[in-house]
């Protein structure tokens, strides 16, 4: 990767007409160490670089918290392709086809596509930080259950995929997942008690021991049948 000096004369050629990702550093001459970072897609980057504020090397974009244009501040503008348009379209198509098969006769494929597209558009307006804030508790609740279920499916042939084992193991994992959810949302009365009883609870692995105990109980009960 080479470093080039950008001027008003070569700006269009080096930045706007580049066929490769471009990293542009805008900085204030009196304080070149005040830097901010903004990740954008290629088309958004072109739009931003056409703003008058970006034509002046003494100005920049302050995107840390406010998202407002302020001068003079430095900025690092990085073009990225986190989710290309083709990927987004593919996800909508896959979800629409799957739900049309899961719920036949409810909605047509086109209606599912419109529904998923509209829902995605509405949710995206909350911003990435808000989406993560709302989804993190749900993910922390679901991931113990998903891991335990995957392990049971992988090694189920050793116990004949017995329902008793599944029920006891998943039941114990479910109880632990609720405690994990309390840890993430900060419900201190439960967090303090669970932290004293469950090993590895503070590391987000408090479900391991309960799931193992549930599995052992299920195996014993299955053997006695």
Model confidence band, residue 58 (pLDDT cutoffs 50, 70, 90): very low
Last residue of a domain, one of 79, 109, 136: 79
At residue 22, does pLDDT exceed 60? Answer: yes
Average pLDDT, the chain: 76
Q: Is 61 found in the same domain as 111?
A: no
Cα–Cα distance for residue pair 91/94, rounded to 1 Å: 5
User: pLDDT at residue 72 above 60?
Assistant: no
DSSP H/E element including 110: helix 109-124
Task: Count up the domains in the chain and report the number.
Answer: 3
Instruction: Output helix, strand, coil percentages for the chain, rounded to the nearest 5.
Output: 60, 10, 30
Asked if 63 and 133 sit in the same domain, the reply is no
CA-to-CA separations, 215 to 48, 105, 145, 224, in angstroms, rounded: 56, 40, 13, 14
pTM above 0.75, yes or no: no
Task: Return d(Cα 110, Cα 56) in angstroms, integer.
Answer: 47
Burial of 158 (0-12, 13-18, 19+ CB in 10 A): exposed
The answer to whether position 4 is within a domain reads no
Last residue in a domain, options 68, 95, 125: 125
- Which tokens hold the place of 26? 């805008």
Domain that holds residue 87: 83-125
Domain assignment present for residue 19? The answer is yes
Mean pLDDT within 67-86: 49
Q: How far is CA 24 from the centre of its chain?
A: 26
**Can you say how many angstroms the Cα of residue 97 is from the centroid of all Cα atoms in its chain?**
23
pLDDT band (50, 70, 90) for residue 215: very high
Nearest by Cα to 143 from 204, 216, 210: 204
Please tell me whether residues 88 and 75 are part of one structural domain: no
- pLDDT at residue 44, rounded to an integer: 62
Asked whether residue 203 is domain-assigned, the answer is yes
Query: For residue 74, is pLDDT > 70?
Result: no
């Amino acid at each position: 990767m080479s470093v080039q000096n950008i001027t008003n004369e070569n700006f269009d050629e080096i930045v706007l007409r580049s066929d490769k990702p471009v990293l542009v550093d805008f900085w204030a001459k009196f304080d070149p160490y005040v830097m901010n970072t903004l990740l954008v897609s290629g088309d958004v980057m072109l739009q931003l670089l056409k703003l008058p504020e970006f034509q002046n090397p003494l100005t920049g974009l302050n995107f840390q918290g406010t998202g407002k244009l302020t001068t003079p501040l430095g900025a690092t503008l990085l073009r990225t392709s986190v989710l290309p348009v083709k990927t987004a379209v593919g996800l909508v198509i896959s979800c629409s086809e799957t739900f049309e098969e899961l719920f036949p006769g409810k909605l047509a494929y086109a209606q599912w596509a419109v529904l998923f597209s509209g829902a995605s558009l509405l949710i995206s307006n909350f911003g990435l930080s808000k989406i993560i804030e709302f989804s993190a508790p749900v993910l922390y609740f679901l991931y113990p259950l998903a891991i335990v279920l995957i392990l049971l499916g992988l090694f189920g042939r050793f116990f004949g995929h017995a329902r008793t084992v599944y029920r006891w193991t998943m039941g114990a994992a479910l109880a632990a997942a609720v405690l994990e959810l309390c840890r993430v949302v900060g419900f201190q009365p439960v967090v303090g008690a669970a932290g004293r009883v469950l090993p590895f609870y503070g590391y987000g692995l408090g479900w391991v021991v309960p799931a193992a105990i549930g599995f052992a109980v299920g195996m014993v009960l299955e053997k006695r049948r």
